[in-house]
Structure 1
Amino acid sequence: MSMSRIRKEVDAALLAFVDRQRPGLLAISPELAPMLGALDALLAGGKRLRPAFCFWGWQAAGGREPREGVVAAAASLELLQASALIHDDVMDSSDTRRGQPSVHRRFQALARAEGWSGHAGPFGEGAAILLGDLCLAWSSEMYETSGVARDLIGPGRQVYDLMRTEVMCGQYLDLLEGVRGAGTVEAALRVVEFKSAKYTIERPLHLGATLAGGSPEVVEALRAYGRPLGIAFQLRDDVLGVFGDPAETGKPAGDDLREGKRTVLIAQTLERADAAGTAVLDRLLGDPGLTPEGVAELRAIIEGTGGLAACEEMIERYAREAADALAAAPVNGEARIALEELAVAATSRQA
């Protein structure tokens, strides 16, 4: 069963769900069409990693046909992800997402184009928050109506609820580190674990295995693989946020630096920087008007101090830990191959 086939099935399930919702929104008011347009644009992109890990967690735990309900339940994670991205972009004042304007910027542009008399900024942010809330509500609805057997949907809901709690707590911790500026590797890793690692890989695997009625041994084996892989995934994303190609990442070069994100990469750099380097980091990190020259200066410090090399070593170490856990996991051959391929996709140096 090819990875591309699962992605197509997830895309189809997601499109079908949103299309079923469309008439209800437009019946409330045709003026809600821009909300749907913004959601359609956002959902058109993305790697579908969370649904993929959920599906293969189900397969690894002995999931049996028919699988349509599990595909729909897994696809609902993309609506949860859309909610998280929309809200994250508002909090970070991000201009772009997946190579196009972020949702709040899209609504701000709409207000200006229409010549409305109110302030475009608050309108755009408010509209984006509401669309993110709608996606959160729809993620629950899509999961609950997926068609998975009722004796399995309930235990899975407990995992789903835990995942949502963890990612929101992780987001708060991320905001806290940004304003507090502690800059320690330990604090940054705590954000990584709860904002990204569990949410992206560990919990989707856990959810899929639970929807298969998997044994506690299989569930724990998949979580032992998922947690370190999730950390490696986010560390790679942090590196790409500074050194990635905008054509691949969908965001301007150095956007994470402009947003002042206190990532593990930055924490590793601060631990190694001298007084002069620290002063430059304090001055430039988080400057929304950071120029390409400023980005280059920060990149040079990150590389020159050994911060980048330290982060790359962490990625390799966590990826090895995940590979060792998968090798020891009691999963079948097809699922094992798929999870090995997903590990490569999650930690690749490409976006």
Structure 2
Amino acid sequence: MTIVTSHTVTPAGGAGNGRVRHLVDQRLGELLDQELARLGFLGEEGVDLVRRHLAAFARDGGKRLRPAFVYWGHRAAGGTAADLGRVLNAACAVELVHVAALLLDDVMDEAQERRGRPAAHAALAAEHRRAGLRGDPARYGESQTALLALLALAWADAALLGSGPHLADALDVLTRLRVEVTAGQQLDLAGTAAGADTGRTRTIALYKSAKYTIERPLHLGHAVAGGEPAARRALSAYALPLGEAFQLRDDVLGVFGDPGRTGKPAGDLRQGKPNHLVAAAKERTGPRGAALLDTVATEEDAAAARELIVSCGALDAAERRIAALAGEAVEALDALPGLPGDARAALTELTVLATDRSR
């Protein structure tokens, strides 16, 4: 097993984050190969299924945003190049948790595509049909995907075992991350079933996005470095407004996003998912707006709902809020004691990446 033991610290934020993504991709590939090699008892076909629907999905991931926050949380807490292998293992653990969450999210949302390709449960159901296997193809696809998600969570723990002498603290953070995102998803499902006002959508955003995407990954890097409590508090002051802005941007994309760019359907209107933009529009327009926003069944309905969200000012208010929260996050970096220049540049750039999402 190869462990990366050195790296180049780059003062430019873009180059620094690009380098981190390369290192995470490299280490994640090594971990996936290591774990696949342990599955020989599944037989060639079983290992191939895991390789195609879990390992390949993990390798061909998104922007590696959460691993980047792990890395820079480590750097901000005083971590050095000597700990690179350890922090990369922790970063990969978070990414594998995210892989599990995406697999399950697609099942719960009945999404047929992810990143421009069939979602795992849909692809597995199609394989079942083509092979003429026994049982219900849809149930087979969903069940296999649930098991793949459980496997990804187990692999996350395996990755974290290599995070060094502060393993107990790191495991505590990773456990909190998993509990919070699971509870946030439960709130999201309840909100879909019963409806959600702006207060409820903010709570969902806190646990499903702000803590999961930004705060806990930063805390994980901090834990691996054995950082001081003051640095952890300062990281939270940066993370929480940025996390809220991240979810607000996600809500905007859930209504107005182009699936070809976001990699997922813009289906919040039709699915009735808790969405701050929709909740704010209902509050601004009253029963008339709620009647329209709660009954979106066709693309024509969706177009009318989008027009209402724009005309009532909810979209403009969300954009202003995103900008204000991003500014608050960047200002919070001033309170981080001894923040290295490369970490400041990278975290500033990550603020843009988390709130723009157009690149």
TM-score > 0.5, shorter chain as reference: yes
Gaps of 5+ in 2: 1-9, 11-15
Question: Partner of 1:11: helix, strand, or coil?
Answer: helix
Gaps of 5+ in 1: 285-289
Counterpart of 2:49 in structure 1 is 34
Counterpart of 1:104 in structure 2 is 121
Q: CA deviation at 1:274?
A: 4.0
Equivalent residue runs for 1:219-258 within 5 Å: 219-252=232-265, 254-258=266-270
Candidates 42, 55, 71, aligned match of 2:71? 55
Question: Partner of 1:29: helix, strand, or coil?
Answer: helix
Candidates 308, 317, 330, aligned match of 1:323? 330
Q: Normalized against structure 1, the TM-score is what?
A: 0.93
Matched, 1:266 2:278: yes
| Alpha-carbon distance between aligned partners in 1 of 2:108 and 2:130, rounded to the nearest angstrom | 24
- The question of whether the paired residues in 2 share the 8 Å contact of 1:240 and 1:349 is answered with no
Q: CA deviation at 1:17?
A: 0.7
Letter in 1 for 2:64: R
| Alpha-carbon distance between aligned partners in 2 of 1:157 and 1:280, rounded to the nearest angstrom | 46
1:163-212 residue CA offsets vs partner (Å, 9 max, x unmatched): 1111111111111111111x311100000000111010001111111211
Candidates 154, 166, 189, aligned match of 2:202? 189
- The question of whether the paired residues in 1 share the 8 Å contact of 2:90 and 2:220 is answered with no
- The question of whether the paired residues in 1 share the 8 Å contact of 2:122 and 2:141 is answered with yes
- The question of whether the paired residues in 2 share the 8 Å contact of 1:14 and 1:75 is answered with yes
Which stretch of the first structure deviates more once superposed, 340-349 or 310-319? 310-319
- The question of whether the paired residues in 1 share the 8 Å contact of 2:93 and 2:156 is answered with yes
Question: Partner of 2:133: helix, strand, or coil?
Answer: coil
Question: Partner of 1:302: helix, strand, or coil?
Answer: helix
| Alpha-carbon distance between aligned partners in 2 of 1:124 and 1:190, rounded to the nearest angstrom | 32
Matched, 1:335 2:343: yes
Q: CA deviation at 1:242?
A: 1.5
- The question of whether the paired residues in 2 share the 8 Å contact of 1:268 and 1:310 is answered with no
| Alpha-carbon distance between aligned partners in 2 of 1:198 and 1:326, rounded to the nearest angstrom | 17
Counterpart of 1:154 in structure 2 is 168
| Residues paired across the two proteins, number | 341
Equivalent residue runs for 1:1-351 within 5 Å: 1=10, 2-32=16-46, 33-43=48-58, 44-66=60-82, 67-144=84-161, 146=162, 148-150=163-165, 152-181=166-195, 183-252=196-265, 254-284=266-296, 290-330=297-337, 331-350=339-358
Supply the RMSD in Å over aligned alpha carbons.
Answer: 1.4
Letter in 2 for 1:89: D
| Alpha-carbon distance between aligned partners in 2 of 1:211 and 1:21, rounded to the nearest angstrom | 23
| Alpha-carbon distance between aligned partners in 2 of 1:292 and 1:100, rounded to the nearest angstrom | 22
Which stretch of the first structure deviates more once superposed, 26-35 or 321-330? 26-35
Q: Normalized against structure 2, the TM-score is what?
A: 0.91
Q: CA deviation at 1:37?
A: 0.4
Question: Partner of 1:117: helix, strand, or coil?
Answer: coil
Letter in 2 for 1:139: A
Q: CA deviation at 1:349?
A: 4.8
Letter in 1 for 2:126: A
1:53-83 residue CA offsets vs partner (Å, 9 max, x unmatched): 0000100111022211211211111100011
| Alpha-carbon distance between aligned partners in 1 of 2:28 and 2:332, rounded to the nearest angstrom | 31
Question: Partner of 2:295: helix, strand, or coil?
Answer: helix
Letter in 1 for 2:57: L
| Alpha-carbon distance between aligned partners in 1 of 2:160 and 2:357, rounded to the nearest angstrom | 32
